[in-house]
Each structure stands twice: as C-alpha cells, then as structure tokens.
Amino acid sequence: MQQSEFLNVVMPFKDKLYRLAKRLLVSTEEAEDATQEILLKLWSKKKMMESYNNVEAFAMTMTKNFCLDRLKSKQAGNLKLVHSNYAEESSGLQKQIEARDSVDWVQKIMEELPEQQKLVLQLRDVEQYDYDEIGEMLDMKPTAVRVALSRARKLVRDKLLQKHRYGIG
C-alpha cells in the first residue's frame, strides 16, 4: 500500500480517532499523542491493512485499547481521570483565591520596580498599549520600551520564583 492509498483510507476517520482518545484520556495533548501513535501503528501495519474487513473499526479498537492501556500504565500517574459531568466546586474557589493572591503579589512586586519599568509594564501588559504608543507617552524609542519591558518582566518573574520557592530545596 502506497502512502497516497494509506492517506485515502485513514484520513477520513482520523478525527474520530482523536475524539475517542479525547473522551477516554480527557487531556487534549494526550489525545493528540494517542492519535499520532495509532496512525504510526496503522502505517506499520499497512501491508496487512487490505486483509481487514473494516479498517476504521480496527483503528477505533486500536485507539480504545491504546488509551485504556495508557490509563492503566505507570505513565498514567500524571493523567487525570475526570468524568465530564463532574465539577468540584471547591477547586474553582481555590483557583480564584490563588489567582487573586498572585495578582496581589505581582502588584507588590511592581511597586518595587524602577519608575520607568513600572510604567512600561503597566501600559503594555495591563493597559494593552502597543510599543509605539508607549514610546510617545513616555518620550522613549520603541526599542527602549521593549528593553525596559523585558527587564521589568524578568524582575517580576525572578521575584515570583523566589516567593514560590521559599522554603523549598
């Protein structure tokens, strides 16, 4: 079986393989990986493919078995089994509190920045102005705005990392 024949046979149901993998594995990335693995396995079996009555059914069964094996394997430690109708209310509240805490920390860190970096960071990342507009407002060249923004972001990132690593390692 040539590549063009293979593509003509397999491509029409590729999205079905992905949707099945997504339903079983939940994670988009894991489903994409699983789909790619199945397509590679099908390619390696291309010589036997003509003997199958229904290639699509064979591929769907391969996908199901691959996903179930993946969930059972040792690699499944980082996969989340989540029922699509289940939502944990406390996790939503927890995420809101953590997000608010992070915003508070960023605001505190921004207050410690040099004035120019603080203004550039505020205008670009909070107010969403482009580099030319910020340059006009602060009487700076766009390249200077980019440099100040880069330095400000690096300082904020470093301070946040210090905060989150406190007491670890």
In the DSSP assignment, the letter for residue 122 is: I
Q: What is the CATH number of the domain that holds 153?
A: 1.10.10.10
Closest CA to 24 of 8, 44, 40, 38: 38
Residue ending a domain, among 28, 46, 78, is: 78
Closest CA to 34 of 49, 46, 19, 48: 19
List the domain range (segments joined by +) for residue 48: 3-78
Q: Which one-letter amino acid corresponds to residue 25?
A: L
How many domains does the chain contain in total?
A: 2
The CA distance from 110 to 104, in Å, is 10
Question: Is there a domain that residue 20 lies in?
Answer: yes
- Shared domain for 20 and 59, answered yes or no, is yes
Q: Tell me: the pLDDT tens digits for 75-87?
A: 555 555 444 444 4
Q: Tell me: the pLDDT tens digits for 21-66?
A: 888 887 888 889 999 999 999 889 888 888 888 888 888 888 888 9
- Shared domain for 112 and 63, answered yes or no, is no
8 A C-beta contact, residue 71 and residue 79: yes
The CA distance from 167 to 102, in Å, is 18
Q: Tell me: the pLDDT tens digits for 89-129?
A: 556 787 788 778 777 887 788 888 888 888 888 888 877 88
Q: Quick check: 88 pLDDT over 60?
A: no
Question: Is there a domain that residue 45 lies in?
Answer: yes
Q: What is the CATH number of the domain that holds 8?
A: 1.10.1740.10
The CA distance from 21 to 30, in Å, is 8
CB atoms within 10 A of CB 135: 18
Q: Tokens in use for 119?
A: 């203004």
- Shared domain for 45 and 20, answered yes or no, is yes
The size of the chain, in residues, is 169
